[in-house]
Amino acid sequence: MTVELISVGTEILLGNIVNTNAAYLAEKCALLGLSCYYQSVVGDNEKRLRQTVELALSRSDIIILSGGLGPTKDDLTKEVTAEVFGRKLYEDAHSKERIVEFFRQMKSKKITENNWKQAMVPEGAIVVDNHNGTAPGLILEGENKTAILLPGPPNELKPMFEEAIAPYLGRLQPEGIYSKMVKLCGIGESKAETMISDLMDAQSNPTLAPYAKTGEVHLRVTAKAESEKKAEQLMAPMLKELYNRFGSMVFTEEEEVTLEEAVAALLEKKGLTVTTAESCTGGKLAGRIMNVPGVSRVYKEGYITYSNEAKRKLLGVKEETLKAYGAVSRQTAEEMAAGAAEAAGADAALGVTGIAGPDGGTEEKPVGLVYIGCFVKGHIRVEEFYFTGNREKIRDYAAVRALTLLREELLSYA
C-alpha cells in the first residue's frame, strides 16, 4: 500500500520553517509498512493545491495532507480536498461543541466568526478530535483512495497521528516493515558501497540501502513480514554477511545507537574512564561524548588546550616538543593524550591537534592536517589525517575519527 505526503503552507515554500512534519509522518508511515514514493509541498493556492491533490491520488493509495486547516479564508486544504472527492461541507455539531469548549478552557482568547469555519466537515468524513487545537482531523474514504487531513502545528499533528491515525492506518496493513541500521565507522562511503554492491543488487526482501553520515556509513536492512520474528529471520543472513564483510567496523545495528554511545558502552564494559584534550576540535569531541545519557560514569573531565601555554600547563606537553615539532605534530598529540590521562586520572585519553583553517596552513602542514593521539592504559597510538572542507567540517571529521580511533583501541584492549 502506498502513501503520499502533501504539506500545505507558504511558510514552508519560503523556507521560513523546516518541514519537520514530513519527516515525522514519513518515518511513522514507513514503520507502518506503507511505501512512500513522493512528498510534496504546495502553498495555500486553490489551483495548485487541487493539481497536487489530484496528482497524488492518481499515483498513491493514501494521501496525507498537513496544514491549511486554519480558520482564515486562505486555509483551503479541506475545501479543495472535499471538492476533489465530490463531497459537500456541512456544520458538524460535535466539532462546533469542541471549539466552544476549547475556547472556554483558553480563557484568554475569544471565539471569532471565522472559527466556525473549522466546524465545517465534508459529508461522510471521519472526524478526528483535536485535543490541542480547534481544527479537527479528517479522513475521507473514497472508493479505493483515502485522504487524511491533519492540522499543521506539530504539537497538534503528532498527538493526533499517534492517537487516531496510526491505529487507523495499521488496520489497513497486512504486513509490517521492520528494519535494522548497521552502522560502520572507519570506512568511507564509496569503499563501503563497493563492498556491498552485490548485496544491493539483490534488492528483494530484505533490502539494503546505504546512508552516508560525516565519518560514518549507515546500512539500512529492511524486511517486510507479518511479524517481527519473521522479519528477523529474513534479515538474519544479510546481517551475518555484513558482519563477515565489515567485521569490527560495525559498531551497532540499532537505529538509535550513536557512535559515542557505542564507545561509552565499550568503556563501561571494560571498566575504563576516558578524558579528552582538544586543540582544533575545541570541545566538539567532548560535546559529542557528553551527548550520551549517564556518561558521567566514564567521563569526568576534559581539557580544551588551544594555546601552547595551555598544552604545557594543563597537559604537561614539553616545551622542547612544541619547539622541535610544533603544536600540530605527532609528538604533541602523543604528549597531549598521555598528559590528559595523567591530569584527569583517567584510564584512556584522546589528544587532538590540527589545523582547522581557514588560516594557519603551510606547504608542509596544510589546513586539514590533524593528529589524533589515543592513550589506553599506558599504550599510545597516534594517527595522522588530512581532512578536506571548511573549518567546521574538518573539526567534525576530527571528532568522529577520534571516537573511531578510541573504539579500535578499546576493542584491542584485553
Tell me if residue 143 falls in helix, strand or coil.
coil
How far apart CA 266 and CA 399 sit, in angstroms, is 17
How far apart CA 30 and CA 3 sit, in angstroms, is 9
The answer to whether residue 180 forms part of the interface with its own copies (CB under 8 A) is: no
Interacting span for its own copies (CB under 8 A) from 120-128, 224-232, 372-380, 390-398 = 390-398
* 329, HSE (Cβ side, Cα atoms, 13 Å): 15
The answer to whether residue 197 forms part of the interface with its own copies (CB under 8 A) is: yes
The answer to whether residue 202 forms part of the interface with its own copies (CB under 8 A) is: no
**Residues between 236 and 275 that touch its own copies (CB under 8 A):** none
Among 309, 379, 411, 412, binds its own copies (CB under 8 A): 309
**Residues between 310 and 329 that touch its own copies (CB under 8 A):** 310, 313-314
How far apart CA 121 and CA 342 sit, in angstroms, is 70
Minimum CB distance to its own copies smaller for 51 or for 123: 51
Minimum CB distance to its own copies smaller for 351 or for 357: 357
Interacting span for its own copies (CB under 8 A) from 70-78, 166-174, 246-254, 347-355 = 70-78
**Residues between 132 and 161 that touch its own copies (CB under 8 A):** 132-133, 153, 155, 159
Among 8, 12, 138, 410, binds its own copies (CB under 8 A): 12
Tell me if residue 287 falls in helix, strand or coil.
helix
Q: Report in angstroms the alpha-carbon separations of 2 from 50, 75, 173, 195.
A: 20, 26, 11, 31
Minimum CB distance to its own copies smaller for 108 or for 144: 108
For the record, the C-alpha cell of 276 comes out as 579528552
The answer to whether residue 11 forms part of the interface with its own copies (CB under 8 A) is: yes
For 3, list phi and psi in degrees, rounded to 5: -130, 150
In DSSP terms, 168 is beta-bridged to none
Among 122, 136, 302, 339, binds its own copies (CB under 8 A): 302
Minimum CB distance to its own copies smaller for 123 or for 384: 384
**Taking the complex as a whole, how short is the minimal distance between the CB of residue 146 and its own copies, in angstroms?**
19
The answer to whether residue 173 forms part of the interface with its own copies (CB under 8 A) is: no
Q: Report in angstroms the alpha-carbon separations of 3 from 176, 382, 396.
A: 14, 50, 36
**Taking the complex as a whole, how short is the minimal distance between the CB of residue 296 and its own copies, in angstroms?**
5
**Taking the complex as a whole, how short is the minimal distance between the CB of residue 414 and its own copies, in angstroms?**
27
The answer to whether residue 354 forms part of the interface with its own copies (CB under 8 A) is: no
**Taking the complex as a whole, how short is the minimal distance between the CB of residue 67 and its own copies, in angstroms?**
11
**Taking the complex as a whole, how short is the minimal distance between the CB of residue 79 and its own copies, in angstroms?**
16
Minimum CB distance to its own copies smaller for 29 or for 410: 29
For the record, the C-alpha cell of 277 comes out as 584534550
How far apart CA 88 and CA 232 sit, in angstroms, is 47
DSSP per residue over 30-94, as a string? HHTT-EEEEEEEE-S-HHHHHHHHHHHHHH-SEEEEES--SSSTT--HHHHHHHHTT--EEE-HH
The answer to whether residue 194 forms part of the interface with its own copies (CB under 8 A) is: yes
How far apart CA 376 and CA 275 sit, in angstroms, is 11
For 329, list phi and psi in degrees, rounded to 5: -155, 160
For 126, list phi and psi in degrees, rounded to 5: -80, 120
**Taking the complex as a whole, how short is the minimal distance between the CB of residue 347 and its own copies, in angstroms?**
15
Among 96, 166, 253, 283, binds its own copies (CB under 8 A): 283
> Residue 293 corresponds to which amino acid?
P
**Taking the complex as a whole, how short is the minimal distance between the CB of residue 177 and its own copies, in angstroms?**
10
Among 88, 94, 109, 379, binds its own copies (CB under 8 A): 109
The answer to whether residue 57 forms part of the interface with its own copies (CB under 8 A) is: no
**Taking the complex as a whole, how short is the minimal distance between the CB of residue 123 and its own copies, in angstroms?**
25
Among 173, 227, 233, 307, binds its own copies (CB under 8 A): 307
Interacting span for its own copies (CB under 8 A) from 89-97, 105-113, 225-233, 328-336 = 105-113
For the record, the C-alpha cell of 398 comes out as 576530527
Cβ neighbours of 203 (radius 10 Å) = 10
Q: What is the largest CA-CA distance in the chain?
A: 85
In DSSP terms, 139 is beta-bridged to 126, 148
Minimum CB distance to its own copies smaller for 191 or for 377: 191
How far apart CA 319 and CA 10 sit, in angstroms, is 60
Residue count of the chain, please give it: 414
**Taking the complex as a whole, how short is the minimal distance between the CB of residue 282 and its own copies, in angstroms?**
3
Among 163, 228, 319, 384, binds its own copies (CB under 8 A): 384
